[in-house]
Amino acid sequence: MTERIAALRGWFEGAEGPVFKELAVDPEGRVTGEAEGPSCGETGEYGPDFLILPGDVNAHSHPEQSVYADLVDPSWDLATWCRHTIYRHSVEMTPELVYLGCCRAFGRMLLAGVTAVAVSFYCHNRRGNDLDREVIRAARATGIRLFFGRMHYDWVAQDAYPAKKASQESYFETPEAYERALEELIREVQDDPLVAVAPALHSFHANTLEGIVRGIRRGALLGLPVQFHLSEDRGDVDLCLRLYGRRPVEVLDDLVRRGEVPGLDHLLVSDGIWVEDLEKDRMAEHRLSLVANPRMNRRVGAGRADLKGYLDRKIPLFLGTDGEASNDDLSVAHERCFAREAYPEVPVASLGRRAFPFPGTPVGLAEPGFGADFQVLRDGAVEDVYVAGRRVVHRGRLLSLDLQRDVEAPLRERTASWRD
């Protein structure tokens, strides 16, 4: 990483084509507007061969799952994928493996122009925040902006096969233990402008209704987005109908109507595949936001989200990749390329390009008050990347780490036995 620039000058992406301008950056790494005179510090300057865009936001990710990227078969469906990855190996995850897996993921994201990532992390393994801290350490080591959802998991399927049950037991935390760990981690990062910790929930199949209520309330109290997997597969719908007599969004709607939660407008739900039209209407009414993971959903056979239905209802829509091991890569730009073919009825060019509510400094747009997070393209390829005004990628190379030496070599060594 380099010193923070005071301005960025060049050809920026515009609605009707590239526009030449110079954006000023304040000492905290925020865009202040177009520069009105010579900058008082270093200027990042790019000629007409380059195009400057806001950095992409990967709004849903499980970065530790990059440790499995070399082990998977692309033909596996979701259940098979889980059996051979997280339910086979996550109980073996050590701090070093989490750190290396996340460095691999974050480094690859930055090289693909992703400057901010929302992480959903539930692999606590009965170790309090020990593994959670390694995700944060990896973000700091690579230079990416991290929105860390410390995910609560408080349901173990008693009829699950042994490896799955053992994994779920390692993720499990009581509500009280979870809230203590969350508060501890929030205190630890409170002075870091590039790391935010927030409550997160897993899903209807991994959370009790009490856990869901407490998580939604906690997010509202803190004023933070709460991540939650919504109807990623049909099983969550069947489970809600069996336990609560209602579909997933209807269950959430009932929580508001009964006064058990103050609202749902801070929920950042992902996938949203098995969602009926009336549920989408309720989502719009309660102002939920959705993260679509189209390539991951297609690859594991989970289904296809109705993106047009969400956009027609003006539901805020972001893009994510989920984990690298269940996708082709970690590029949000590649998600847009895929969506262009898979969703011809949707205006793909702007998909996911909107303000993401990173605490303290919104990101995702090249506008005053937003984080100075940029990707610089040359012939369509990522050349340079800036996070909060600091260059973290130069000429297609990560500046803070040698990914081959510092990450790939030790990661292959530590997981060699997994390939047997």
Domain shared by 231 and 129, yes or no: yes
Domain shared by 104 and 234, yes or no: yes
Q: Is residue 72 part of a domain?
A: yes
Length of the chain, please? Answer: 420
Per-residue pLDDT 10s for the chain (420 aa) are 568 899 999 999 998 899 999 999 999 999 999 987 766 678 999 999 999 999 999 999 999 999 999 999 999 999 999 999 999 999 999 999 999 999 999 999 999 999 999 999 999 999 999 999 999 999 999 999 999 999 999 999 999 999 999 999 999 999 999 999 999 999 999 999 999 999 999 999 999 999 999 999 999 999 999 999 999 999 999 999 999 999 999 999 999 999 999 999 999 999 999 999 999 999 999 999 999 999 999 999 999 999 999 999 999 999 999 999 999 999 999 999 999 999 999 988 778 899 999 999 999 999 999 999 999 999 999 999 999 999 999 999 999 999 999 999 999 999 999 976
Nearest 5 degrees, angle CA 320-CA 322-CA 324?
Answer: 115
Q: Is residue 355 part of a domain?
A: no
Q: At what angle do helices 209-222 and 248-257 cross, to 10 degrees?
A: 60
Instruction: Give every CB contact of residue 162 below 8 A, 6+ residues apart in sequence.
Output: none
C-alpha distances out from residue 309 to 269, 278, 346, Å: 15, 11, 10
Instruction: Return the beta strands (E) in 153-277 as ranges.
Output: 195-201, 226-230, 267-271
Instruction: Return the beta strands (E) in 17-85 as ranges.
Output: 19-25, 31-34, 43-45, 50-54, 56-61
DSSP β-ladder status, 114-121 and 31-34? unpaired
Calpha distance 102→144 (Å, rounded)? 11
Calpha distance 339→350 (Å, rounded)? 11
Domain shared by 15 and 155, yes or no: no
Domain shared by 162 and 249, yes or no: yes
Per DSSP, the three-state class of 239 is helix
Q: Is residue 96 part of a domain?
A: yes
Domain shared by 121 and 214, yes or no: yes
Q: Is residue 416 part of a domain?
A: no
Domain shared by 144 and 16, yes or no: no
Q: What is the pLDDT of residue 185?
A: 99
Q: How many domains does the chain have?
A: 2
Q: At what angle do helices 175-189 and 130-142 cross, to 10 degrees?
A: 30
Domain shared by 258 and 125, yes or no: yes
Domain shared by 177 and 69, yes or no: yes
Cβ burial 63-82 (10 Å sphere, 16+ → b, else e): bbbbbbbeebeeebebeebb
Domain shared by 269 and 180, yes or no: yes
Q: 219 lies in which domain range?
A: 55-350
Taking the CA of residue 231 as centre, how many other CA atoms within 13 Å lie in the half-sphere pointing to its CB? 25
Q: Is residue 154 part of a domain?
A: yes
Per DSSP, the three-state class of 232 is coil
- DSSP secondary structure code for residue 247 in this structure: -
Q: Mean pLDDT for the chain? A: 96
Q: Is residue 44 part of a domain?
A: yes
Domain shared by 49 and 61, yes or no: no
CATH, residue 46:
2.30.40.10
Long-range (24+ apart) CB contacts under 8 A made by 369-373 are 369/30, 369/31, 370/30, 370/31, 370/54, 371/29, 371/30, 371/31, 371/115, 371/116, 371/145, 372/5, 372/8, 372/23, 372/25, 372/29, 372/30, 372/31, 373/54, 373/55, 373/115, 373/116, 373/145
Q: Is residue 408 part of a domain?
A: no
CB atoms within 10 A of CB 19: 12
CATH, residue 340:
3.20.20.140
Domain shared by 161 and 243, yes or no: yes
Domain shared by 378 and 233, yes or no: no
Q: What is the pLDDT of residue 1?
A: 57
Q: Is residue 363 part of a domain?
A: no
